[in-house]
Every structure is written in C-alpha cells, then in structure tokens.
C-alpha cells in the first residue's frame, strides 16, 4: 500500500472544500450521474475488488464478498437512485395559524465535504455505503480505508481515481497516523466505523473543529432464546450470523442467553448447524480467515483466560470425511481459519465477556426468567444489535420495550441491516447517528428552514410601542394557539 502524503491529503481536502463552497447546491442530475459512475465501478470491477479482499484476508471466498459487500452496495444504489428525486424535493410544512399567510418549507442541501474512515472487516461495503449516501446528498467525499486491508485500499484508490475527479470523491491511504490526520480535518461531517475505543479518539479529534460525526461502533450484541423457541431453527440462524466472515462482523451475535436447562440441547443444535453450513474449516473458501495473526492471538488469549477461570470450551470439529487442509502455499490465511468455539460458564471477570469478541467464539449464558436476561443486557453498555428468538408477541414486545439497542432482528440475525428503509446505527457506546436509505440521505444533508412572508402579513400589529392594541391582539392569539 502506498501511503498518501500528509500535504497531499490537505491539498485534496482544500480542493473539495473550495468546490463545495463554489457550488453550495448540487443538481439532481449531477448527483444521479455520480451514483451511476459508482455503480459502474462496482459492476465492472467487482471481481477485482473481491480478489483484493481475498488477498487481504488470505482466505475469503469472492462469493462471500459478493453477498456481504457488493450485493449490499448494488441494492443500496438501486434504492437510492429510485427515490433520490423525491428525497431532494423541498418539503412543505404546515404553517401555524398565527403566522398565516406566510409559508414555510425545508430545503435539503449538501453539507459540503464528508470524511469517511472505514474498517477492514467488510472493506468494500463499509467503505462505500456511507459514500453512496453522502454523494446522494450532494457532498464531496474523502475516504480513508483501513490499513489492515491494504490490497483493497489500493484497489479502491485506483478505481475511484479513474471514475471521479479528486474534488468529487477521493481515496487516501495510510496507517493509523493517516487516519488521525483525516479525523483532524475540518470536514462538514465525519463518518467512522470501527471499535468503541478508536471511536472515542475520532470524536475528540472532530470536536476540535465542531465537526458533526456519525460513529458506527460495536459492542456485545446479545441473542436471547425464549422458552418457546425452536432451538434448531434459532441455532442455524445464530450460526449464520456468528460465523459469517468468521465472526468479524460488528452486528454478529456476541453471546447467547439460554433458558436454564436448554444448554445441552442448544449445544447439539449449534454443532449440527455449524456442520451444515461449514462441514470443515481449514481450506474452506466459504469460511473466512481471521484477518491477521495479531487478531488470532487475541482470540486465543481470550479463550485461554476463560478456561483458566473455569469456563468450559467446546471446540467444534470438522465433519468426518471432510477434505484435508490444502498446502499452506494456497493461501496464507488457511492457518488463520479458526474453528468455532462454544463457551459455557463464562463470567463477567473474563475478557470475552468484557470486550467485543469479533471472532467465531460464542459464550452461552443461562437465565432463569426473561427478567434476568433483560437485567443482564441493561447492566452493560447499549449494544449495536439485539436478537430475539421466540413465538410470543407479548414476550417479544417486552424485550423491545425494556431494552435499548441500535437495532433489533426478531427470529433472525443480521438481516435488519439489509432493509433499505430501516436506519442503521448505534446508541451509547455502540455509536451515534444512523444511515442507509432516506435516513442516510438526511444524515448528510442540511435541512434549511425557510419562511416566506406574505405581503398581506400583519406582524406589525405586534411591534412596539406596546399598548391597548397589542393587548387585544395577544388575547386573540392566545385563543388561537
């Protein structure tokens, strides 16, 4: 990866800032044309982007990148292009009786220049999804991808430079120091996706410029199994949500809460579901590698500590007769394809219950009553996602009413993020601000209030000097409000 020089970053930022000030509004036709260019980039170069992701992970199927990165972007682009004209229209609002015959409306204008600092786990989708919303809202964009996926970052930088002028949309490359520099620039809005710890630093850097931020962070997203749940169906969906990208997903179920007495049945259902989706791990192109040796070592350290403190680890094994691991030379990620692990007996003292796991490790906690599960969730930071599995609407609504999370998926995992009309975002430690669909368009727009006074206005009746006439007018207004 070739790092972008600090002076070049500042120069291109200034180009974008000057362009945004020279053209405060962006015509609908230009917004659509930019989105169509981005769509063409993805359609023509999707295989190259998937190959770059595979090179970064060492083992991650292009089909996984297609469904989790490229298809998500294609769907978002189609939805945005379909609704963009309506989103761009001025919004008329009802005028209070005492202000008539004035009229009021809201103009949706671009903010200006939007910065995006994106993560490594879905390095195409989480880089370009906020870019789509920002371009739709008429902004200029600077993207800084993660240094942990350097092939993808370089591919994005090369392709974006082919399809966009630097003052429209550019990609800068570099390490954490580059990200810190980007976060310190006086953007009109800054988007960061990553860990809560780094999100705090980004928010502090942005605050120096009064730059508003959207922080998409993580956290310990729970899955609650209710007593009337079909364990086999729930386990299959939890396995899919947990093991997609080998658990390296910000909205992956971080732990599961089981009715006491169902632990053995759930473990059996979980093992069966893993065998169905991933009959083997090493050399399986559908099962992603952990992104780096450092991240793998962290997961192993978590498990060692949990076992030392008394937890029971159930390491899932390949289905007998599965293919043997290929030679190491096929992909350097084969050795980082970590077998899934179920953990029973986890306690708050363990690292895996204190930090977001971000890997194929699933602690299973037991509860006596649903109240206990809710109390456990509410005792910690608010999660990015919550998953509930059951049949009773009353129990479902009880969980929805008594917990706060960024989003909820009922009787499934992950799929709420694919719903174009549902805002996606966190709350509290899991982030703030939401995008996707119209919510994303509005996130990157300035909603400018406009009141147009009529020539028949009678506002002068409230001007000083105050006296008996003023008192009569105010008495009338009090009856009208």
Q: Are residues 69 and 33 in the same domain?
A: yes
pLDDT at 329 over 50: no
Q: Are residues 242 and 207 in the same domain?
A: no
pLDDT (average), residues 35-56: 97
Domain count for the chain, please give it.
2
pLDDT at 330 over 70: no
pLDDT (average), residues 11-29: 97
pLDDT (average), residues 159-176: 97
Q: Are residues 245 and 269 in the same domain?
A: yes
pLDDT (average), residues 153-158: 98
The answer to whether position 135 is within a domain reads yes
Q: Are residues 306 and 374 in the same domain?
A: yes
Q: What percent of the chain has pLDDT over 70?
A: 98
Q: Are residues 17 and 165 in the same domain?
A: yes
pLDDT at 386 over 60: yes
Q: Are residues 408 and 440 in the same domain?
A: no
Q: Are residues 420 and 316 in the same domain?
A: yes
The rounded distance, in Å, linking the Cα atoms of 240 and 231 is 14
**223: helix, coil or strand?**
strand
Domain of residue 136, residue span:
6-217+434-446
The answer to whether position 329 is within a domain reads yes
Q: pLDDT tens digit string along 346-376? A: 999 999 999 999 999 999 999 999 999 999 9
pLDDT at 267 over 50: yes
- What's the mean pLDDT when you consider all of the chain? 95
Decide which of 393, 424, 455 is a domain's last residue.
424
The CATH number for 389's domain is 3.40.309.10
The answer to whether position 378 is within a domain reads yes
Sign of CA dihedral 199, 146, 115, 129: negative
The answer to whether position 88 is within a domain reads yes
The rounded distance, in Å, linking the Cα atoms of 109 and 347 is 50
Q: Which residues are catalytic?
A: 216
Give which of 313, 235, 225 is closest to 275, Cα–Cα. Answer: 235
Q: pLDDT tens digit string along 441-473? A: 999 999 999 999 999 988 888 899 999 999 898
Is the separation of the CB atoms in 300 and 322 below 8 Å?
A: no
CA 396, distance to chain mean position in Å, is 24
Give which of 64, 179, 200, 87 is closest to 133, Cα–Cα. Answer: 87
The rounded distance, in Å, linking the Cα atoms of 256 and 399 is 15
Give which of 425, 437, 439, 435 is closest to 217, Cα–Cα. Answer: 425
Cis omega (within 30 of 0) for bond into 412: no
The rounded distance, in Å, linking the Cα atoms of 174 and 150 is 9
Question: Please, which contacts does 391-396 make with residues 24 or more away whose CB atoms are closer than 8 Å?
Answer: 391/226, 391/228, 391/229, 392/226, 392/228, 395/226, 395/370
Is the separation of the CB atoms in 412 and 237 below 8 Å?
A: yes
Q: Are residues 187 and 226 in the same domain?
A: no
pLDDT at 328 over 60: no
Which DSSP category does 468 fall into?
H
pLDDT of residue 447: 96
Q: Are residues 10 and 32 in the same domain?
A: yes
The rounded distance, in Å, linking the Cα atoms of 79 and 231 is 35
Plot region of 431 (φ>0 → left; ψ -120 to 50 → alpha; else → beta) = left
pLDDT at 332 over 90: no
The answer to whether position 235 is within a domain reads yes
pLDDT at 80 over 70: yes
Q: pLDDT tens digit string along 206-261? A: 999 999 999 999 899 999 999 999 999 999 999 999 999 999 999 999 999 999 99
Is the separation of the CB atoms in 124 and 74 below 8 Å?
A: no
The CATH number for 54's domain is 3.40.605.10
pLDDT at 71 over 80: yes
The answer to whether position 77 is within a domain reads yes
pLDDT at 331 over 90: no
Q: Are residues 189 and 69 in the same domain?
A: yes
Query: Among the residues of 189-257, which ranges form H helices?
Result: 196-207, 231-243
The rounded distance, in Å, linking the Cα atoms of 274 and 96 is 60
pLDDT of residue 460: 87
The encoded tokens of residue 25 equal: 């509004």
Sign of CA dihedral 144, 148, 152, 155: positive
pTM of the model: 0.94
The answer to whether position 465 is within a domain reads no
The answer to whether position 474 is within a domain reads no
Q: Are residues 292 and 389 in the same domain?
A: yes
pLDDT (average), residues 5-9: 95
Q: Are residues 244 and 160 in the same domain?
A: no
Give which of 430, 438, 450, 474 is closest to 192, Cα–Cα. Answer: 430
pLDDT at 1 over 80: no
Is the separation of the CB atoms in 350 and 356 below 8 Å?
A: no
């Amino acid at each position: 990866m070739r790092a972008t020089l600090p002076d070049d970053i500042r120069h291109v930022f200034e180009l974008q800032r000057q362009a945004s000030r020279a053209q405060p509004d962006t015509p609908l036709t230009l917004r659509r044309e930019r989105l169509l260019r981005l769509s063409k980039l993805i359609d023509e170069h999707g295989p190259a982007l998937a190959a770059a992701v595979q090179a970064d992970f060492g083992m991650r199927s292009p089909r996984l990148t297609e469904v989790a990165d490229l298809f998500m972007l294609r769907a978002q682009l189609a939805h945005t292009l379909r609704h963009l004209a309506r989103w761009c229209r001025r919004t008329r609002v009802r005028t209070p009786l005492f202000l008539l015959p004035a009229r009021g409306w809201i103009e949706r204008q671009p903010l200006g220049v939007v910065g995006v600092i994106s993560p490594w786990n879905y390095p195409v989708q989480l880089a370009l999804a906020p870019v789509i919303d920002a371009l739709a809202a008429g902004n200029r964009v600077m993207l800084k991808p993660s240094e942990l996926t350097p092939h993808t970052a370089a591919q994005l930088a090369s392709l974006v430079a082919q399809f966009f002028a630097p003052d429209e949309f550019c990609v800068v490359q570099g390490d954490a120091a580059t990200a810190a520099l980007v976060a310190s620039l006086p953007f009109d809005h800054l988007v960061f996706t990553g860990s809560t710890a780094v999100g705090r630093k980004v928010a502090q850097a942005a605050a120096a410029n009064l730059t508003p931020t959207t922080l998409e962070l993580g956290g310990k997203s729970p899955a609650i199994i209710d007593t009337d749940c079909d364990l086999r169906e729930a386990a299959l969906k939890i396995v899919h949500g947990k093991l997609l990208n080998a658990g390296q997903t910000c909205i992956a179920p971080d732990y599961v809460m089981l009715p006491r007495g169902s632990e053995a049945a759930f473990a059996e259902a979980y093992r069966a579901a893993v065998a169905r989706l991933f009959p083997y791990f090493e050399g399986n192109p559908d099962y992603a590698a952990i992104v780096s040796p450092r991240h793998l070592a962290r997961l192993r350290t978590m498990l060692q500590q949990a076992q030392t403190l008394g937890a029971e680890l159930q390491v899932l094994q390949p289905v007998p007769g599965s293919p043997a691991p290929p030679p190491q030379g096929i992909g350097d990620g084969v050795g980082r394809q970590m077998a899934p692990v179920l953990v029973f007996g986890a306690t708050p003292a363990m690292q895996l219950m204190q930090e977001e796991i971000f890997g194929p490790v699933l602690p299973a906690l037991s509860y006596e009553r649903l109240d206990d599960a809710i109390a456990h969730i509410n005792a910690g930071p608010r999660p990015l996602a919550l998953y509930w599995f059951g049949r009773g609407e009353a129990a479902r609504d009880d969980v929805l009413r008594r917990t706060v999370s960024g989003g909820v998926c009922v009787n499934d995992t992950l799929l709420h993020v694919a719903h174009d009309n549902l805002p996606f975002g966190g709350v509290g430690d899991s982030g703030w601000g939401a995008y996707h669909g119209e919510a994303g368009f509005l996130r990157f727009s300035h909603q400018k209030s406009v009141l147009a006074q009529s020539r028949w206005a009678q506002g002068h009746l409230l001007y000083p000097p105050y006296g008996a006439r003023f008192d009569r007018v105010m008495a009338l207004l009090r009856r009208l409000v």
